[in-house]
Amino acid sequence: MTDRLPHEKGFHVSWDQLHRDARALAWRLQSDAPEDGYKAVVAITRGGMAPAMIVARELDIRTVDTISVKSYNHQTQSAPQVIKSPDMDIIGDGTGILVVDDLVDTGKTLEAVRALMPKAQIATVYAKPMGRPQVNTFVTEVSQDTWIFFPWDMALQYVEPYRGKD
């Protein structure tokens, strides 16, 4: 399946904003945590790695693993592929495991992750309406026709002043 989704708007996230939002996510997760805390964090690479690191730091979780799911090439979506699984001896059925990603869009990536660890708690920093039901905790909702631009995909560059442009 290959699908090019229309994204009319752009939502640009700076490193500062991402840090603040990932901390806000950790704050929310504190109250949802199991009594004895989360056993481990699983970051969905690559986008989930920076948020997962920030959340793991705030919640003092030292065991961090990764699952690699590839769904997009730029803005073109294809069927999600699990390229690398976490250590299933630690993960089990997902009980006490916190999965972190940068965002949920259609929810297809998280569907693949949930199939592997059905009891895990799933958190994303940003969520679009289609994928929201797949997420237990998130911080900011963004409309479906918006593309979120993350700081690792961007660079500062010179822009012409308004005056002088025709």
Ligand X SMILES: O=P(O)(O)OC[C@H]1O[C@H](OP(=O)(O)OP(=O)(O)O)[C@H](O)[C@@H]1O
Does residue 46 bind ligand HPA (CB under 6 A)? no
Q: Which helix (H) or strand (E) holds 46?
A: none
Q: Which stretch binds ligand X (CB under 6 A): 11-19, 57-65, 103-111, 136-144?
A: 103-111
By CB under 6 A, the residues from 61 to 90 that bind ligand HPA are 72
Q: How far is the CB of 107 from ligand X (least distance, A)?
A: 5
Does residue 131 bind Mg ion (CB under 5 A)? no
The residue within the footprint of ligand X, chosen from 25, 86, 97, 108 (CB under 6 A), is: 108
Query: Site mask, ligand X, residues 24-63, x = CB under 6 A?
Result: --------------------xxxx----------------
Structural contact between residues 105 and 91, judged by C-beta atoms closer than 8 angstroms = no
What residues are annotated to the active site? Answer: 101-102, 105
Select 33 or 45, whichever has its Cβ closest to Mg ion: 45
What is the residue whose two structure tokens read 């002043």? Answer: 161
Per-residue burial over 96-122, b = 16 or more CB atoms within 10 Å of its CB, e = otherwise? bbbbbbbbbbbbbbbebbbebbeebbb
For residue 131, give the nearest of 102, 153, 152 by alpha carbon.
Answer: 102
Does residue 47 bind Mg ion (CB under 5 A)? yes
Q: Dihedral angle at the C-alpha atoms of 119, 125, 131, 134, nearest 10 degrees? A: 10
Dist. CA 127–CA 142, nearest whole Å: 6
Q: Which stretch binds ligand X (CB under 6 A): 18-26, 52-60, 104-112, 135-143?
A: 104-112
Q: Which two tokens stand for residue 125?
A: 């920093």
Binding site for 5-phospho-alpha-D-ribose 1-diphosphate: which residues? 46-47, 101-109
Residues comprising the binding site for Mg(2+)?
102
